[in-house]
Amino acid sequence: AQTVTQSQPEMSVQEAETVTLSCTYDTSENNYYLFWYKQPPSRQMILVIRQEAYKQQNATENRFSVNFQKAAKSFSLKISDSQLGDTAMYFCALSGNTPLVFGKGTRLSVIA
């Protein structure tokens, strides 16, 4: 079975600072994808970034980047220049031969 663990239930960061959210996972598959989703207070699930397991290069989307350590089964999200609009729940998710499995989430608060 695939599992995803987010060990930080809550985090906070000052506006304009950098924050890193942790995620570890377990899978026996070789071909899988990893995702970070953002859920603001509006409840909408928004894809932030994705990483294909076969790619060694870490994915980057503007202020968002990941540190993908395949051997350690670790997939952390770094948010640079944090903005008030980044305040949200963040979910790490894993897919492969089965539908997306989610972690329990990290609530991020950006403080002015």
Partner 1 sequence: NAGVTQTPKFQVLKTGQSMTLQCAQDMNHNSMYWYRQDPGMGLRLIYYSASEGTTDKGEVPNGYNVSRLNKREFSLRLESAAPSQTSVYFCASSGRQGFNTEAFFGQGTRLTVV
Interacting residues with partner 1 (CB under 8 A)? 4, 6, 9, 31-33, 35, 42-45, 47, 50, 91, 95-105
Minimum CB–partner distance for residue 11 and partner 1 (Å)? 15
- By beta-carbon proximity to partner 1, the closer residue of 36 and 79 is 36
Minimum CB–partner distance for residue 95 and partner 1 (Å)? 5
- By beta-carbon proximity to partner 1, the closer residue of 90 and 110 is 90
Minimum CB–partner distance for residue 61 and partner 1 (Å)? 12
- By beta-carbon proximity to partner 1, the closer residue of 6 and 82 is 6
48 CB neighbour count, 10 Å cutoff:
20
Minimum CB–partner distance for residue 31 and partner 1 (Å)? 7
Strands 74-79 and 88-95: unpaired
- By beta-carbon proximity to partner 1, the closer residue of 16 and 46 is 46
DSSP string for residues in 29-78: -SS-EEEEEEE-TT---EEEEEEETT--SPPEETTEEEEEETTTTEEEEE
Burial grade of 49 (CB within 10 A; 0-12, 13-18, 19 or more): buried
User: Do 103 and 93 contact (CB within 8 A), yes or no?
Assistant: yes
